[in-house]
Structure 1
């Protein structure tokens, strides 16, 4: 096995798919079975102190398996896909050198596909004046106004970004205003001729969308029992500095409750609906990955299916 891990092109197993499909449990089982460690590919679980609303893996769920890129960053700090690919790439190199199998696990599809495809990112030079103007416009006019501007100047990139994903919308507008370059062209130019890793991408979902939504609703109810309201209040009180968390599903849905404009029941219902909508976007993203292997919860024996796929992947020659 060591020879496989120490090959010139490291092997990586990725586990993606929509929220509430059991990615954490499966990844831990595979890590224990194949001597691996887990690299989180979740854009919110990176933050310290935001555990319930991000469904962050618990020490009990880890079962002693080391997890990387979890809870290491203060909520005031920004974190981009470029930051992720840099840190995850370094971790893959370290784990490979130690003869361990890197498992990249999470629901942030942009993180996983950018890493596996070796997308390069040039350092972002942010003009403070442009950033302040866009932030002011966001507060005054809302995210839709910024998205409309992005769609006008770079329709190709806008088609890949959700209108409420304001960090990505703002970064694309900053690039265009500062340089005249489109983010869609930047991303295309950043794609290398050869991928940096030999990878297997397993994606979990449900054949029956109703089952997926039931699992999401159950997770949201458990979050309420586990103290998500206290975390949401923390984010609300620091919304001017916790900018990313303040836009995240799991927290902003409760802001109307703190402002006295909605009751708790309606906010929870809004959280469930927002989470279901997010799951649909995750499915759309991962289904674009034509080399993904889909595993369905209704079929059962997920761990065995995933183990067989992983064994076959690791047995492939290095050609």
Structure 2
């Protein structure tokens, strides 16, 4: 640990459309901060309106990090995020400014708060070839039987149809000597690298519903259909990860003539509400600090948190 590990780092989590970004901007202005994105879709370049990405003016007023860092054809895992976020936090602290982590991807903020450890991201090509030879010799049925003897807990969650997971099990096992269960135990033994100060924004249901509907309508008014059309023309493959985002999924269906514009709007609102419900469940089971029901409540709570 070093001197920076004692620095306080605000983490603003919460439900979609709850006002996290507005709170982060207010805090950045108040404390002299820079914002570290924690939204899995905002890392993708060009996907702006449908991800509620901060505007160019907002990014000009307050420096933002981990936005527009991936092409739509690239993957971005929790392990990638934690590595990049820790580096960004450290860089901001070294400038004597306050890094403010903000976003609703619970897996990202949970891993950051818990100090979850990850094995190096890239499996060597030699290991991949080794596992390919094992598959050719024993088949997935034989390898699944082997997992049962190595790691019964993981085997109980697998079936012969889980070829990708069986392959990954042996790639990790051959590279590290650890089973999936042992790897999970090792990952969870990490410690947070900074003194995080988390807060979770969770408005009342009726308030959030109104905010979701208003934001969704604003996205379409701002040109979400045209943005999606341009991205489809650029990348040509609606199966790419960022097109699965709620703001784009039904817009793609509309552009392909599968649904009406009314259905596009209604389905986007419906799925955003469902996402918020899943997020509520996540935050109930993964501690993200005090829960605030409004922006004013959140601002007051953060002033107290930053003083402790």
TM-score (norm. length: structure 1): 0.76
Partner of 1:113: 110
Matching of residue 286 in structure 1 with residue 289 in structure 2: no
CA contact (8 A) 1:249 1:274 kept: yes
Partner of 1:273: helix, strand, or coil? helix
Q: Please, which of 23, 27, 34 is the counterpart of residue 26 of structure 1?
A: 23
Pairwise CA distance, 1:153: 4.8
Matches within 5 A, 1:225-244: 225-237=221-233, 238=235, 240=237, 243-244=240-241
Greater Rg over alpha carbons, structure: 2
Q: How many residues align?
A: 274
Bigger Cα displacement from structure 2, 118-127 vs 62-71: 118-127
Pairwise CA distance, 1:210: 2.0
Partner of 1:251: 248
CA contact (8 A) 1:239 1:246 kept: no
Pairwise CA distance, 1:106: 0.3
- The runs of 4+ residues in structure 1 deviating greater than 6 Å are none
Matching of residue 210 in structure 1 with residue 206 in structure 2: yes
Give the number of the structure whose residues are more often helix, by fraction: 2
Matching of residue 12 in structure 1 with residue 9 in structure 2: yes
Unaligned runs of 5+ in 2: 133-152
d(CA) in 2 for partners of 1:69, 1:304:
24
Deviation digits for residues 229-258 of structure 1, max 9, x if unmatched? Answer: 122224444353861112221111123222
Pairwise CA distance, 1:59: 2.7
CA contact (8 A) 1:18 1:107 kept: yes
d(CA) in 1 for partners of 2:230, 2:164:
26
Please report the RMSD computed on the Cα atoms of aligned residues, expressed in angstroms.
3.0
Partner of 1:273: 270
CA contact (8 A) 1:175 1:183 kept: no
Pairwise CA distance, 1:187: 3.2
Deviation digits for residues 102-156 of structure 1, max 9, x if unmatched? Answer: 11100101111111211111124385998xxxxxxxxxxxxxxxxxxxx995649
Matches within 5 A, 1:85-234: 85-122=82-119, 123-125=121-123, 153=155, 155=157, 172=165, 174-176=167-169, 178=171, 186-207=183-204, 209-234=205-230
Partner of 2:307: helix, strand, or coil? helix
CA shift in 2, pair 1:7/1:80, >3 Å: closer
TM-score (norm. length: structure 2): 0.78
Pairwise CA distance, 1:215: 0.8
Partner of 1:199: helix, strand, or coil? strand
d(CA) in 1 for partners of 2:85, 2:187:
17
